[in-house]
Amino acid sequence: MRKIVILTGAGISAESGLGTFRDAGGVWSQYDLAEVATPEGFARNPALVHDFYNARRANALAAHPNAAHEALVRLERDWPGQVVLVTQNIDDLHERAGHRHVIHMHGELARALCAACGAHWPAPEKMSASDPCPECGTRATRPDIVWFGEMPYDMDLIQRHIDSADLFAAIGTSGQVFPAAGFVMQANAAGAETVELNLEPSELSGMFDIRREGPATRVVPAWVNDLLASA
Ligand code: BJW
Any ligand 1 atom below 6 A from CB of 15: yes
Shared-domain flag, residues 86 and 133: no
Shared-domain flag, residues 11 and 37: no
- Separation of alpha carbons 220 and 213, rounded Å: 10
What is the structure's pLDDT at 17?
96
Instruction: Assign 93 a pLDDT band (cuts: 50, 70, 90).
Output: very high
CB 216 within 8 A of CB 171: yes
Task: From 86, 94, 25, select the one nearest 66 (Cα to Cα).
Answer: 94
Q: The domain that contains 167 carries what CATH number?
A: 3.40.50.1220
* CA 148 – ligand 1 centroid, Å: 9
106 is catalytic: yes
* CA 181 – ligand 1 centroid, Å: 8
What is the structure's pLDDT at 203?
87
Structure letter (DSSP) for residue 135: T
- Of the candidates 98, 123, 145, which is a domain's last residue? 145
Taking only the tens place, the pLDDT of each residue in 54-86 is 999 999 999 999 999 999 999 999 999 999 999
Any ligand 1 atom below 6 A from CB of 145: yes
Domains held by the chain: number: 2
What is the structure's pLDDT at 151?
98
- Atom 40 of ligand 1 has which residue's CA nearest to it? 148
- Separation of alpha carbons 38 and 102, rounded Å: 24
Ligand 1 atom closest to Cα of 216?
5
Any ligand 1 atom below 6 A from CB of 149: yes
Residue 220 has pLDDT above 80, yes or no: yes
Taking only the tens place, the pLDDT of each residue in 95-120 is 999 999 999 999 999 999 999 999 99
- Separation of alpha carbons 120 and 211, rounded Å: 38
Among candidate residues 69, 94, 104, 106, the one labeled active-site is: 106
- Of the candidates 145, 174, 208, which is a domain's last residue? 145
Domain extent, residue 36, equals 19-62+107-145
Per the prediction, the chain carries an average pLDDT of 97
> What percentage of residues in the chain have a pLDDT greater than 90?
97
Any ligand 1 atom below 6 A from CB of 203: no
CB 56 within 8 A of CB 34: no
Shared-domain flag, residues 215 and 172: yes
Question: 16 to each of 8, 63, 218, how far by Cα in Å?
Answer: 14, 6, 13
- Separation of alpha carbons 170 and 197, rounded Å: 6
- Atom 32 of ligand 1 has which residue's CA nearest to it? 151
Taking only the tens place, the pLDDT of each residue in 124-172 is 999 999 999 999 999 999 999 999 999 999 999 999 999 999 999 999 9
- Separation of alpha carbons 98 and 77, rounded Å: 10
- Of the candidates 87, 115, 145, which is a domain's last residue? 145
